[in-house]
Amino acid sequence: MILGNLADSGRYAAVHPGLAAGLEFLQRGDLASLVDGRYEIAGEQIFAIIARDLGRGQADAFLEFHRRFIDIQFVVSGVDLIGWQPTDQCRRVKQAYDADRDLGFYCDRPGTWCRVPAGSFAVFFPEDAHAPLGCTGPVHKVVVKVAVES
């Protein structure tokens, strides 16, 4: 997991080949005005999902995991609270992994909660189970999905 400010995102571009393109998309000047939905960056390899949501609160934010994609979760406005737990420490499956959706859930509770304010991002790799929307207020987010394998 990486937690950082978009102003410092250049430091992380070399971690994975697709992160640079994903982080570059987040630098768009019109990001706050884009309508909710999916935006292709590099076809099925890198794309963004923009959403305006209400937080679920920590009790209703469940750990999710992915195997094929890295998540870059960027907060445009509001503050998200995202839980984190290494997948190798998760024991109880809530919803089995669905390969078509690249998504599964654990019943385990996060060991760590990270406050992610506007202008900041968190990167979650397949080894990082994460529970987004642990906040309780409105949050405008962009989740960039970066394929692990190019």
| Phi and psi based region of residue 57 (left: phi greater than 0; alpha: psi -120 to 50; beta: remaining) | left
pLDDT tens-digit series, residues 1-38:
999 999 999 899 889 999 999 999 999 999 999 999 99
The H-or-E segment that residue 24 falls in is: helix 19-25
In angstroms, the Cα distances linking 69 to 11, 72, 136, 145 are 20, 10, 27, 6
For residue 79, what are the β-bridge partners?
A: 117
Looking at the structure of the chain, the number of domains it has is 1
CATH code at 23? 2.60.120.370
In angstroms, the Cα distances linking 7 to 4, 93, 113 are 8, 36, 22
- pLDDT above 90 (res 147): yes
Write down the pLDDT at residue 13.
86
Domain with 23 in it: 2-147
pLDDT tens-digit series, residues 40-62:
999 999 999 999 999 999 999 99
